[in-house]
Structure 1
């Protein structure tokens, strides 16, 4: 990876680090707004007053959250009205952005090297497993260093 790209990925990984573990949080079936409001024993009218909305408006917002069709702006406003802070982010499936890039680079390198090795085997020039693994890791390192666009195909 070029040093600028590497630095950007390191910075992004630091920003995303606080979200690690949040992928295990189970979102309530009826949504957070409804669950928090009812747990606090707050009525639709009471929450509506805080937002200068009708209880029907609040009910619609709760329904939109439950069907995943709510805006970030609405969630942020609800958070303020519930005296909470709304936070959103992304959690890399591979632990970090760097690990995600490495995984993609290895997968592509493996495909390329194994395809090349298959052609060589047909010509009785196959490589040993150690040579193949070394070639995969070398190519993966190069793909990652160059942050090749083919990583995302």
Structure 2
């Protein structure tokens, strides 16, 4: 196994491990900031004093979390002020290998369709079953011998 493939494998293991740990985790309806603050039985004014801001600023940040406009820095500061740590993660819905396989199949289907158009112009149509087999073959090849264009949208 090449060094690059080994490194990619390690990255995939890390992502899959994070996905497993966070599977089923979702943001509470009030957001993490308000939920943790309330779990601590801490008022917005108390948290504001700890951060050196007003209660209104705390309320705004809690609303910003819900709308997705809060900054990572604000999340970190507020978490630390509540004696917590802020954790940031991007995890796939399925195992990362499935994400790659899905993309490889899409790219393979595009290649097969492009070839099929040319073959149809030459009256050399291929049966549906053979097309699907060719898609799977090409997808497997893309995964076994990765190239940098897997994520390019030009084809």
Identify the TM-score tier after normalising by the shorter chain. 0.7 to 0.9
Q: Which of structures 1 and 2 has the larger relative contact order (alpha carbons within 8 angstroms, sep 6+)?
A: 1
2:11 is equivalent to residue 12 of structure 1:
yes
Residues 1-153 of structure 1 mapped to structure 2, 5 A cutoff:
3-21=2-20, 22=22, 24-96=24-96, 98-117=97-116, 119-120=118-119, 123-129=122-128, 131-144=130-143, 145-153=145-153
Alpha-carbon offset, residue 34 of structure 1: 1.1
TM-score by length of 1: 0.78
Q: 3-state DSSP class of the match of 1:93?
A: coil
Q: Are residues 138 and 20 of structure 1, via their aligned partners in 2, closer, same or farther at CA, if it must alter by over 3 Å?
A: same
Q: How many residues align?
A: 151
Q: 3-state DSSP class of the match of 1:24?
A: coil
- C-alpha root-mean-square deviation of aligned residues, in Å? 2.7
Alpha-carbon offset, residue 128 of structure 1: 4.4
Segments of 4+ in structure 1 off by > 4 A?
121-124
Q: 3-state DSSP class of the match of 1:42?
A: coil
Q: In 2, are the aligned partners of 1:48 and 1:54 still within 8 Å (CA)?
A: yes
**1:60-114 residue CA offsets vs partner (Å, 9 max, x unmatched):** 2212212211111111111112222211111113421x32222111111122224
Query: Structure 2 regions of 5+ residues with no counterpart?
Result: none
**1:35-72 residue CA offsets vs partner (Å, 9 max, x unmatched):** 22123221112212322333232222212212211111
Q: In 1, are the aligned partners of 2:103 and 2:150 still within 8 Å (CA)?
A: no
Q: In 2, are the aligned partners of 1:34 and 1:62 still within 8 Å (CA)?
A: yes
Distance 1:65 1:27 in 2: 10
Distance 1:18 1:76 in 2: 23
Distance 1:149 1:122 in 2: 27
Query: Structure 1 regions of 5+ residues with no counterpart?
Result: none
